[in-house]
């Protein structure tokens, strides 16, 4: 996979106009855009449709966590929105995760669509933690049929060794300069994350706040 294809741009912006601006400016340099709680609450499914129409793909990062039936129905809705990936909290438990996996498979089959990748959230990168809780949660996700996990690159190497090559690893908290952490406690460079075994890296402010976002992408990968 080319390095650029590993980048997911986090559209953590406060207006739909800004979101559309970055999609228009950076696609196809960036092929996957993260729609999180802030942007989805602001724009709803319309922004997903806009990104899809552009030809890009959506990582829907709503970190679903609720009773199994509610989460399963939310996953069905995400399938209908044709998202590439979506997140669920692993701490929601095996019943919730297995129900989500079954719902995604069933709805995708019914609509003859490709099933979205289900990515489990282990421990938020804004929290300080050791590797053991992350590994425990990741194992639960794997056993429950998830396609991968979100974790800090500081735990990515351990998870890759313990869980194998097929389990996807998505790492947020990516910075060009590790001295700039903002609200993230566990940050790494893109190179460190990829070397640790990350399949995808989620990047926000280093690109969104750059004077030249395109050049920032190059700087991120060098």
Active-site residues: which are they?
63
**How far apart are alpha carbons 62 and 208 in whole angstroms?**
20
Quickly list DSSP for 39-93.
HHHHHTHHHHHHHHHHT-EEEEEEEE-S-HHHHHHHHHHHHHTT-SEEEEEGGG-
Q: Are 189 and 221 in contact (CB under 8 A)?
A: no
**How far apart are alpha carbons 153 and 26 in whole angstroms?**
24
Residue 19's nearest CA partner among 7, 5, 34 is 34
> How many C-beta atoms lie closer than 10 Å to residue 158's C-beta?
17
**How far apart are alpha carbons 98 and 161 in whole angstroms?**
24
Give the rounded distance of the alpha carbon of 45 from its chain centre.
17
Helix (H, G, I), strand (E, B) or coil at 9: strand
**How far apart are alpha carbons 208 and 192 in whole angstroms?**
21
Burial class (CB in 10 A: 0-12, 13-18, 19+), 219: middle
């Amino acid at each position: 996979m080319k390095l650029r294809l590993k980048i997911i741009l986090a559209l953590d912006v406060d207006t739909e106009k800004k979101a559309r601006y970055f999609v228009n400016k950076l696609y196809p340099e960036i092929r996957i855009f993260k729609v999180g709680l802030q942007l989805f609450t602001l724009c709803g499914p319309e922004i997903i449709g806009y990104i899809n129409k552009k030809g890009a793909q959506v990582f829907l990062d709503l970190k679903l966590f609720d009773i199994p039936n509610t989460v399963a129905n939310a996953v069905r809705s995400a399938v209908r929105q044709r998202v590439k990936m979506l997140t669920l909290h692993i701490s929601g438990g095996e019943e919730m995760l297995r129900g989500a996996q079954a719902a995604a498979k069933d709805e995708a089959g019914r609509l003859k669509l490709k099933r979205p990748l289900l990515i489990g959230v282990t421990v938020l990168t804004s929290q300080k933690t050791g590797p053991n809780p992350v590994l425990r949660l990741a194992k639960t996700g794997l056993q429950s049929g998830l396609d991968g996990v979100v974790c800090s690159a500081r735990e990515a190497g351990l998870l890759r060794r313990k869980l194998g090559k097929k389990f996807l690893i998505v790492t947020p908290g990516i910075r060009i300069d590790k001295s700039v952490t903002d609200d993230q406690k566990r940050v790494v460079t893109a190179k460190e994350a990829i070397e640790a075994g990350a399949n995808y890296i989620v990047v926000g402010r280093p690109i969104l706040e750059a004077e030249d976002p395109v050049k920032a992408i190059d700087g991120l990968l060098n």
